[in-house]
Amino acid sequence: MPNHSEVSPESTFRINKLNLSTAELKEMAKKLRRHVITMTATAGSGHPGGSLSAADIITVLYFRVLRHNPENPQWPDRDRFILSKGHAAPILYAALAEAGYFPVSELTTLRKLDSRLQGHADRKCTPGVEMSSGSLGMGLSFAIGVALAARLDSKTYRTYVLLSDGECEEGQTWEAVLSAAHFKLDNLTAIVDCNGMQLSGWTRDIMNLEPFTQKWQAFGWHTLDIDGHDLNQILSGFQEAEKIKGKPTIIIARTIKGKGVSFMENNVEFHGKAPTGEEAERALKELE
């Protein structure tokens, strides 16, 4: 994160307001997980598993790392966050609401007609959303365009993109991996929510990605392999990425699908199934 002397007064205000301590980040992550449960249970649909696995990553980004201004979502010097794994929109909406982009009360409108919070994020509808998502595999390509734009415009903002491990089975992702290294995009940090599961099972059974970290390294990226639920490791990873010059950084965050709710953890059923009312009550008690 830039020193306060290096950023505008507007960004300094946001950094000061959202610079949560590690203990506060832990509580915020629990709060965001509770929102995910309530939102998907109310909607009766959605993707809780991958939202819960990404909760700690999203928390550190929005409440410690990103330069952003909820009062001015289109602030030109903001850092950009791209949600490539668009089905995890509930966790993004929860963070945006808690950060102040729209009222927290609006979260219960998830997936309802005329709601600003659709099942996959829509940048034309929702304040703070940088890319409309749906089909997997496109987010890294989009993020490369954003990072290149920063270079062409002589801007200092950084671009962050969150991918799923499942979408790393797609060819377009690896074309983008090559491109980012070729253009030496050191203002780009990618994170893989590596929870080991996708819609129909374990990634190792559907299309094994390992040795995963070594693949990114061979493609010319600076690589980090971390515990995606350890807030200190996540924060250290982002801080290290800012110091790397001449190449992009990939953070392989090893996570657990459905993290925080015992009956959802490593349970493929909750990839795209909302909890029932009774299940939501159980989950919320676990997350108190």
Q: Which domains does the chain have, with CATH numbers?
A: 10-286 (3.40.50.970)
For residue 124, give Cα distances in angstroms to 59, 80, 183: 23, 16, 29
Check residue 8 and give its pLDDT. Answer: 39
Check residue 134 and give its pLDDT. Answer: 80
Check residue 264 and give its pLDDT. Answer: 98
- In 3D space, the residue among 116, 112, 87 whose CA is nearest the CA of residue 101 turns out to be 116
Query: What are the tokens at 250?
Result: 């990939």
pLDDT in tens, 161-216: 999 999 999 999 999 999 999 999 999 999 999 999 999 999 999 999 999 999 99
Task: Tell me the C-alpha distance between 52 and 214, whole Å.
Answer: 26
- Report the predicted TM-score, pTM, of the whole model to 2 decimal places: 0.93
Q: What share of the chain is helix, strand, coil (3-state, %, to 5)?
A: 50, 10, 40
Torsion of the alpha carbons at 243, 59, 81 and 251, rounded to the nearest 10? 50
